């Protein structure tokens, strides 16, 4: 037999591997445009969170119907990839169904399981297409999904459906050929699901069947490699990034805002409190808060790349629910899009971050961030523990401390706090007046 | 506090009153109710009085970190000066800030919310309830405050307190981790909302009223304001009252 197919396969594998590694470098660099932050504490807890939330899909199950459909696709993805291992080995070695003789009956069982999952994935993808395009589930019709994001979502589902059809077609034709006694093909006994496709191919010649079987095989494996590359351009990156993203979850109470030590030193000096290590020159202070992606933590940018735009955050956001412009999902999409823009610009020898644009202003408006109630509903809702609130609050810090651009009513509140130590304008000496009534009653 | 300290006394707990508890006409009643409970039970407590300032929460959430830390550091100096160990407060925002954010600035205290404190007093038998009083058998719904619930995972203490009153606790559709904000958090209390199709407190009030509850229980001064305004907006204030947990307990105790 010619070794041409093997060489072709190796070439395709090599090219795909090269493109993928380039893409991974690009994504990694973009994520690291964010500021350094160390979050390696409590590693036992982090592994546990990753196992429960990413691997175990724990938070998906807050909404049972999409959780179930998603679970089928997820398990299908994990398990069918075992078969891809055989595909790759067959491709390199020029064999066909390498594991069939070794595993015997267990192989037939495994292929039947793969077929079941392929059908399950197929059905789920169709259901998801219906939810998006026919039922128009509200969170999939928000303005930030118009255009490419909606197309991206549909493309992913359609590609998955086609890939699953390729597997089933391959198995059906393969088994017809085995049944006709072609010695290259191994009879596996009953393959339940693909046997339903066999009548479609009954009248075909052997040659035609071989052609279809080979086409389906190549289509599936090349399709998977192409899909893997496509994923790096798509919101579908969550299939990989959900794992590191949950590992780097914020494990502190959700209400806690991160301290700004650079401010603490100044405050201590103003209040005449001795500063620790006063000899130490002040660390170079960049900006207070965040204006662009390089002011955010790299974990914020990782969050953005892990977002699959499901919109559970936005559908629980009180501001969004009541018609305000804020959408936590859009915040995440904006961070990712800005990181992509800067990354591409750097690679093209362009100005990168210095392109005259910024995350705040060109992507996210003050009106959006001002509408946030910091209620943590978005953080709680996210199936992969993304934290949009952290980004919103860092942007607010920039607006307040670098631009003095907070709404007038907040400025008034600041002033009250500076002069009377309360957000309302009351005399500080009246703070204890509530006790008069209690004392009066006790005197009686 | 100053008085107790000068007498060489160390109170068991510092009651952090908060700005709303000190100045807000409606919330002063909650402060008074809680103090009456503490007095009745004989808890040794102190308040900072005029030495207390805003924790800085709204300034921090609005982005003004300087102002927040000015408040925080000053408060910590006062509390550390009195060697405060334990703090109780009726405001989830103060609770969150002192508990989670003061440690990074040198303020380390055991901080609990008044719902947790009340639950402890009830469990220990120190607060003896009369079986619900005017609330007995009534339908009551509890509105989760974001800074108590999601922010700090306190969901059950307030519910236990309400249940102790022998009432029927009815839940809203969005409760506990899915609870809907009243609309006041993140410094929203201090400005008009952005343009939209509805105010958040109206959305939440409609949900609370849909349970058929005769009273809405809250554990936060901002939620109290927002829900009270919401009920007024729906012109239901004659039938549906909004109470803080401490008020309900004090009423039951007849104080």
Distance CA B97, CA B72 (A): 9
A426 chain-B contacts, CB cut-off 8 A: 19, 22-23
* B134-167 per-position pLDDT tens digit: 888 999 999 999 999 999 999 999 999 999 998 9
Instruction: Among B62, B152, B197, select the one facing A322 at the smallest CB separation.
Output: B197
Full 3-state SS string of B66-78: HHHHHHHHHHHHH
DSSP states along chain B: -HHHHHTT---SEEEE-HHHHHH-HHHHHHHHHHHHHHHHHT--EE--GGG----SHHHHHTT-HHHHHHHHHHHHHHHHHTT--EEEES-HHHHHIIIIISGGGT---EEEEHHHHHHHHHHTTSS---S-GGGTT-EEEEPPPTTTTTTT---HHHHHHHHTT--EEE--SS-GGGPPP-S-TTTGGGSPPPS-SS-HHHHHHHHHHHTT-SEEEES-HHHHHHHHHHHHHTT-TTT-EEEEHHHHHHHHHT-
* A124-175 per-position pLDDT tens digit: 999 999 999 999 999 999 999 999 999 999 999 999 999 999 999 999 999 9
Instruction: Among A401, A430, A437, select the one facing B63 at the smallest CB separation.
Output: A401
Predicted pLDDT of residue A3: 86
The β-bridge partners of A16 are: none
* A37-88 per-position pLDDT tens digit: 999 999 999 999 999 999 999 999 999 999 999 999 999 999 988 889 999 9
Instruction: Work out the percent of chain B whose per-residue pLDDT is above 70.
Output: 100
Q: How far is A402 from chain B (nearest CA, A)?
A: 10
| Residue B195: Cβ within 10 Å count | 10
CA B203 to chain centre: 21
Evaluate if residue A278 carries a pLDDT over 70.
no
Closest by CA to A313, choosing from A249, A382, A372, A255, is A382
The verdict on a CB contact (< 8 Å) between B101 and A429 is: no
**Sheet arrangement for strand B241-244:** B168-170, B139-142, B215-218, B241-244
A285 chain-B contacts, CB cut-off 8 A: none
A373 chain-B contacts, CB cut-off 8 A: 146, 181, 183-186, 188, 200
Q: Which domains can be identified in chain B, with CATH numbers?
A: 2-118 (3.40.50.1860), 129-253 (3.40.50)
Whether the CB-CB separation of A140 and A311 falls below 8 Å is answered with: yes
Best of B65, B144, B226, B244 to substitute, by most chain A Cβ atoms within 10 angstroms, is B65
Q: How far is A297 from chain B (nearest CA, A)?
A: 17
Distance CA A43, CA B111 (A): 27
Predicted pLDDT of residue A444: 73
Residues 6+ apart with CB under 8 A from A86: A97, A98, A99
Distance CA A415, CA A424 (A): 9
* B197-208 per-position pLDDT tens digit: 999 999 999 999
**Phi, psi values for residue B238, rounded to 5°:** -70, -35
CB-based burial label for B7 (10 Å; 0-12, 13-18, 19+) = exposed
For residue B132, what pLDDT band results from cuts at 50, 70 and 90?
low
Closest by CA to B79, choosing from B34, B46, B114, is B46
The verdict on a CB contact (< 8 Å) between A423 and B100 is: no
Tell me how long chain B is: 255
For residue A283, what pLDDT band results from cuts at 50, 70 and 90?
low
In total, the C-beta contacts within 8 angstroms joining chain A to chain B are 226
Mean pLDDT value across chain A: 95
The answer to whether B60 faces chain A, any CB pair under 8 Å, is yes
* A330-387 per-position pLDDT tens digit: 999 999 999 999 999 999 999 999 999 999 999 999 999 999 999 999 999 999 999 9
The answer to whether B222 faces chain A, any CB pair under 8 Å, is no
For residue A284, what pLDDT band results from cuts at 50, 70 and 90?
low
Residues 6+ apart with CB under 8 A from A42: A251
The verdict on a CB contact (< 8 Å) between A373 and B195 is: no
Classify residue A371 by its DSSP letter. Answer: T
* A195-229 per-position pLDDT tens digit: 999 999 989 999 999 999 999 999 999 999 999 99
Evaluate if residue A91 carries a pLDDT over 70.
yes
Whether the CB-CB separation of B170 and B213 falls below 8 Å is answered with: yes
Whether the CB-CB separation of A314 and A327 falls below 8 Å is answered with: yes
Distance CA A162, CA A169 (A): 10
The verdict on a CB contact (< 8 Å) between B147 and A255 is: yes
The answer to whether B254 faces chain A, any CB pair under 8 Å, is no
Instruction: Among B65, B71, B193, select the one facing A397 at the smallest CB separation.
Output: B65
Whether the CB-CB separation of B56 and A417 falls below 8 Å is answered with: yes
The verdict on a CB contact (< 8 Å) between B22 and A434 is: yes
The answer to whether B200 faces chain A, any CB pair under 8 Å, is yes
For residue A277, what pLDDT band results from cuts at 50, 70 and 90?
low
Helix spans in A4-104 (H):
4-31, 43-49, 64-93, 100-103
- A284-406: CATH class: mainly alpha
* Chain position carrying tokens 């079986």: B131
- The residue of chain B nearest to residue A407, with distances taken between CA atoms, is B191
Residues 6+ apart with CB under 8 A from A172: A191, A194, A195, A197, A198, A200, A201
Instruction: Give, in degrees to the nearest 5, the angle at Cα A79 between A73 and A83.
Output: 125
Among B residues 76-135, those touching chain A with beta carbons less than 8 Å apart: 77, 96, 99-101, 104-105
Map residue A250 onto helix, strand or coil: coil
Distance CA A12, CA A6 (A): 10
Mark residue B106 as left, alpha or beta (left: phi above 0; alpha: psi -120 to 50; beta: remaining): left
Distance CA A355, CA B152 (A): 41
- Domain ranges in chain A are 4-31+63-247, 284-406, 412-444
The β-bridge partners of B244 are: B218
Predicted pLDDT of residue A50: 98
The alpha-carbon radius of gyration of chain B (Å, integer) is 18
The verdict on a CB contact (< 8 Å) between B184 and A253 is: no
Whether the CB-CB separation of A322 and A312 falls below 8 Å is answered with: no
B204 chain-A contacts, CB cut-off 8 A: 318
């Amino acid at each position: 037999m010619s070794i041409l197919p093997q060489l072709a396969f190796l070439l395709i594998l090599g090219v795909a591997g090269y493109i993928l590694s380039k893409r991974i470098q690009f994504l990694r660099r973009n994520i690291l445009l964010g500021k350094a932050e160390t979050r390696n504490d409590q590693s036992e807890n982090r592994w546990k969170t990753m196992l429960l939330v990413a691997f175990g899909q724990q938070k998906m199950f807050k909404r049972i119907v999409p959780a179930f459909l998603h679970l089928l696709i997820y398990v299908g993805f994990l398990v069918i990839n075992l078969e891809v291992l055989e595909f790759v080995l067959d491709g390199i070695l020029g064999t066909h169904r390498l594991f069939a003789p070794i595993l015997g009956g267990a192989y037939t069982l495994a292929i039947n399981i793969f077929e079941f999952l392929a059908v399950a994935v197929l059905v789920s993808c169709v259901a998801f297409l219906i939810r998006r395009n026919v039922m128009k589930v509200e969170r999939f019709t928000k303005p930030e999904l118009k255009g490419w994001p909606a197309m991206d979502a549909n493309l992913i589902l359609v590609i998955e459906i086609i890939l699953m059809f390729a597997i089933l077609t391959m198995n059906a034709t393969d088994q017809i050929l085995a049944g006709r006694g072609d010695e290259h093909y191994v009879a596996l006994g009953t393959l339940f699901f693909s046997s339903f496709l066999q009548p479609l191919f009954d009248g075909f010649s052997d040659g035609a069947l071989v052609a279809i079987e080979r086409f389906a095989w190549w289509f599936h494996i090349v399709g998977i490699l192409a899909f893997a590359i496509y994923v790096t351009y798509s919101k579908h990156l969550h299939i990989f990034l959900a794992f590191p993203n949950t590992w780097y979850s914020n494990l502190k109470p959700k209400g806690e805002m991160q301290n700004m030590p650079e401010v603490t030193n100044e405050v201590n000096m103003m209040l005449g409190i001795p500063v620790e290590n006063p000899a130490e020159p002040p660390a170079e202070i960049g900006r207070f808060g965040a204006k662009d992606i390089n002011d955010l933590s790299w974990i914020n940018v990782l969050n953005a790349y892990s977002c699959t735009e499901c919109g559970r955050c936005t559908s629980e956001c009180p501001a969004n629910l009541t018609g305000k412009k804020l959408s936590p999902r859009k915040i995440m999409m904006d961070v990712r899009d800005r990181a992509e823009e800067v990354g591409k610009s750097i690679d093209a020898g362009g100005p990168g971050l210095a392109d005259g644009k910024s995350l705040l202003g060109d992507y996210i408006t003050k009106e959006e961030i001002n509408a946030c109630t910091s209620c943590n509903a978005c953080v709680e809702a996210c199936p992969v523990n993304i934290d949009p609130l952290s980004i919103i609050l860092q942007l607010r810090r920039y607006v307040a401390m670098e631009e003095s651009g907070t709404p007038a009513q907040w400025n008034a509140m600041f002033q009250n706090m500076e002069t009377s130590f309360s957000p309302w304008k009351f005399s500080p000496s009246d703070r204890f007046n509530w006790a008069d009534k209690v004392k009066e009653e006790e005197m009686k | 506090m100053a008085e107790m300290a000068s007498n060489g006394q160390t109170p068991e707990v510092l009651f952090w009153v908060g700005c709303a508890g000190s100045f807000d006409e409606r919330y002063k009643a909650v402060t008074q109710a809680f103090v009456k409970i503490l007095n009745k039970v004989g808890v040794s407590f102190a308040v900072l009085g005029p030495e207390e300032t805003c924790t800085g929460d709204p300034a921090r959430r609005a982005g003004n970190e300087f102002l927040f830390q000015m408040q925080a550091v000053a408060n910590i100096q006062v509390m550390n000066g009195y060697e405060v160990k334990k703090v109780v407060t009726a405001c989830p925002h103060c609770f969150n800030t002192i508990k989670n954010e003061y440690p990074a600035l040198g303020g380390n205290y055991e901080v609990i919310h008044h719902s947790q404190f009340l639950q402890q007093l009830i469990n220990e038998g120190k607060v003896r309830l009369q079986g619900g009083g005017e609330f007995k058998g009534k339908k009551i719904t509890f509105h989760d405050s974001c800074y108590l619930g999601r922010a700090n995972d306190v969901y059950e203490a307030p519910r236990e307190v309400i249940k102790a009153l022998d009432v029927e606790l009815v839940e809203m559709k969005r409760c506990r981790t899915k609870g809907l904000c009243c609309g006041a958090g993140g410094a929203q209390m201090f400005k008009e909302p952005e343009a939209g199709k509805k105010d958040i407190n109206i959305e939440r009030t409609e949900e609370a009223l849909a349970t058929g509850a005769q009273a809405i229980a809250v554990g936060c001064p901002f939620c109290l304001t927002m829900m009270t305004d919401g009920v007024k907006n729906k012109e239901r204030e004659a039938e549906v009252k909004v109470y803080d947990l401490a008020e309900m307990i004090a009423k039951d105790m007849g104080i």
